[in-house]
Amino acid sequence: MDTGPKLQGGFDVEWPRGRLELSRRVYVMGIVNVTPDSFSDGGSYPTVRSAVDAALRMLDEGADIVDVGGESTRPGAEPVPAGEEIARVLPVVEGIRAKSSAPISVDTRKAAVARACLAAGADIVNDVSALRHDPEMGTVCAAAGSPVILMHMKGEPRTMQLAPSYSDLLGEVRAFLEEAVARAGRMGIPRERTIVDPGIGFGKTAEHNLALLNRLGELAPIGRPLAVGASRKSFIGHVLGLPVGERLEGTLAVTALAVARGARLVRVHDVKANVRAVRMAEAVLAA
């Protein structure tokens, strides 16, 4: 569905093998976590085949991108050695690429993981540390010509939810993301290949997350497309008093509102329902 120029913002992102037409429509990214301990779907895909099948099913349901991750970044999570992370994600990337030409994102903070997956056919690097965790990550992404998603996170996964505080929430997140785009540029990644993510749930209270979502439009001056990953997260459970398995409706509400506030990419677990919410929100905005 082409909703045309009436949608808020948006920028196309290109790389040698593909293009995200974010100026034309909102993209949906399906989450494939091959981890035993992710907050929502840890252990859901115990074999390579089950993970690949899940990714292909998400693409059939309308996902534009699948995002494969092998290290949990939930609050309190412990880091995973690069070798173990590669062993988890690389066969899945290879399996998806063998059966689909759709864009594949790899959710990692480690250059070695990104390098292996990009060589195997992944296209995008989704780095929750915004290139700060591994000094080689920028070099790897620049050499591959891959787009990179740069996320705001206060602290690191193991410690980020220990009493996070801000004197100016939106101002601090915006300044961080502006510097992340500049950092990527210094590493050889042109700003045209960057996407920014305010980091819902990463070093933020429930109230911080709600305020960020309500004021997403204030991040527009960064001049880069916005990605939002709020699917099933704890702030939804906080508001609705629901466990992680019952947060679909809350997620759909957040997805639609994020699109209305200017998100150009949403990262979700329940692809079919979220694709429908995105397309409906786009239709209203374009009317």
**Structure token digits, residue 241:** 């008093």
Lowest mean pLDDT among 1-5, 73-77, 168-172, 274-278: 1-5
Q: What is the pLDDT, as a whole number, of residue 155? A: 74
Tell me the torsion sign for CA atoms 133, 37, 126, 197: negative
Q: What is the pLDDT, as a whole number, of residue 3? A: 42
Structural domain harbouring 275: 4-286
What distance in Å separates the CA atoms of residue 281 and residue 287, rounded to the nearest whole number?
10
What's the mean pLDDT in 170-177? 97
pTM of the model: 0.92
What's the mean pLDDT in 59-79? 88
**Structure token digits, residue 165:** 């505080």
What distance in Å separates the CA atoms of residue 252 and residue 261, rounded to the nearest whole number?
14
Q: What is the pLDDT, as a whole number, of residue 1? A: 44
Please state the domain count of the chain: 1
- List, for residues 87-103, the tens digit of each pLDDT value: 999 999 999 999 999 99
List residues bridging with 125 in a β-sheet.
106, 148
Active-site annotation, residues: 233, 267
Q: Contact at 8 Å (CB) between 115 and 140? A: yes
To 10 degrees, what angle do helices 206-214 and 248-260 make? 40
Any idea what the CATH number is for the domain that residue 155 is in? 3.20.20.20
What distance in Å separates the CA atoms of residue 86 and residue 256, rounded to the nearest whole number?
34
Among 54, 59, 62, CA closest to 32:
54
Centre a 10 Å sphere on the Cβ of residue 123 and count the other Cβ atoms it contains.
23
Q: What is the pLDDT, as a whole number, of residue 83? A: 96
Q: Contact at 8 Å (CB) between 202 and 160? A: yes
**Structure token digits, residue 107:** 């959710």
Q: Is 24 exposed, middle or buried (0-12, 13-18, 19+ CB in 10 A)?
A: middle
